[in-house]
Amino acid sequence: MTTSHTRSAELFARAAAIVPAGVSSNTRSRQPHPLYFSRVEGAYAIDIDGNRHLDLTMGNGAIMLGHGYPPVQEAVSRALAAGLTCGVESAAMVDAAEAFMSAVKWPDMVRFTNTGTEAVQHALHVARHATGRTRIAKVEGSYHGWSDEVFVSVWSDLSQAGTPDAIVPLPQFAGQRRDLVDQVVVVPFNDIERTLSVLDEVGGDLAALLLEPVMIDIGFIPATTDYLKALRTAADRHGFVLIYDELLTGFNLAPGGVADSCGVAPDLALYGKAIANGYPIAAMAGREDLMRMTEPGKGPAFVGTFNGHGVSVAAAAAVLPILAKGEVQQTLAARGQRLAGSFSAAAADTGVAARLVTGGSHIHWYFLTGDVTDYRSAARTDAAAYAAFTGALGARDILYLPNPLSHHAISLAHEDAVLDEIETAFVAALGATARH
């Protein structure tokens, strides 16, 4: 049966004339054209032609509770009825901040902004002000938004990236300032000896080290606790600010994120995605002395017309108490393990070298053998096998991301019947991959 996408094709023709690629984010571009959606419900998204798609992207992991989760929608409806949007503060902001601080144990204070990219920039400003230094370090393969100084060595061409002992910082796309890129120190993930060697050499020049405590934008790769402890010790020894990017892990893997669950606290951390179930919001949290530097007249600016947006903080105030209980994370972890087990069995049956990795709501599949512990080991995944597998998923109206090093997600709405559907699709897609 051929699914009709006539109206999406028509919309693309209109959009492409005035919107580059016909989409607002390049990650949504598809061949021969992107799909345009009219509504969502639970685990499904319905496109403009009326086709029902099982969603395995879930807003890049932001929509943990499922599309249109009633308590969140009701809170948003009340904010809309009150006319609260931007430029003013609301009681919901205070409610959301209190709910955040009640759930996350390690920080002293929190402040809301709009996107992860903005939160990263705020944290770097604070770190530079606090230390009087300018250079930053980051982990190879970690994604922290698209600003010049952090969109570095993310999905690198390894033929140009140097060796693990001397990683060459590479811009991700054209238009970045190469002078800023060249100043970034790039360290390997989960490699304590090599990382400490670099940090002991340049640590006195660093304002901050920024990392994802679980690298999710290249699949799902947790840091070892020993690695995080080594970074904590290095930050204390050299006086730079340790920043966790928990935009994808915060409230997803555990109520307080990795910073709480691993027992190794950063100085600052950034949160987003899951805290408002898809509504745009991000947060910076951390030590009081660092956070208070953003108060008026004390240091870096913390401004934005849409900061504390009435609708977004209303959503966050509804979501955070739910996620703080930990039950959602436990449920999703069990569902992820179920999918990992069935995927593994199907891969073995079809003879495909592949594995599904999971944590919280996040899932992803690699097509390779051997352990995946960092960017370079993840980059071995077979892109052709990935394309065959995801192409077969797409033929069954399952939404996926085309980049072999990306990430996927389920939600509370992905209940048993939905998981059955996913498992059936995995078996068929792995069969197609084996034939490919």
Per-residue pLDDT tens digits for 28-49: 999 999 999 999 999 999 999 9
CA distance 73 to 316: 11
Q: Is the pLDDT of residue 430 over 70?
A: yes
3-state secondary structure of 423: helix
pLDDT digit string, tens, across residues 72-97: 999 999 999 999 999 999 999 999 99
The pLDDT score that the predictor gives to residue 2 is 56
The pLDDT score that the predictor gives to residue 1 is 41
Q: Could you give the residue range(s) of every CATH 3.90.1150.10 domain in the chain?
A: 36-68+326-435
Q: Is the pLDDT of residue 352 over 70?
A: yes
User: What is the maximum alpha-carbon separation in the chain?
Assistant: 64
Q: Could you give the residue range(s) of every CATH 3.40.640.10 domain in the chain?
A: 70-324
Q: Where are the alpha helices (DSSP H) in 219-326?
A: 225-238, 257-261, 288-291, 310-324
Amino acid at 284: M
Which of these ranges, 1-10, 332-341, 416-425, has the smallest mean pLDDT? Answer: 1-10
Among the four given CATH numbers 3.10.105.10, 1.25.40.10, 3.40.50.1780, 3.90.1150.10, the one describing domain 36-68+326-435: 3.90.1150.10
CA distance 112 to 107: 14
What is the token pair recorded at 138? Answer: 């980051």
Closest CA to 130 of 287, 269, 293: 293
pTM across the whole model: 0.96
Q: What is the mean pLDDT of residues 270-278?
A: 96
pLDDT band at 436 (very low <50, low <70, confident <90, very high): confident
CATH 3.40.640.10 fits 70-324, yes or no: yes
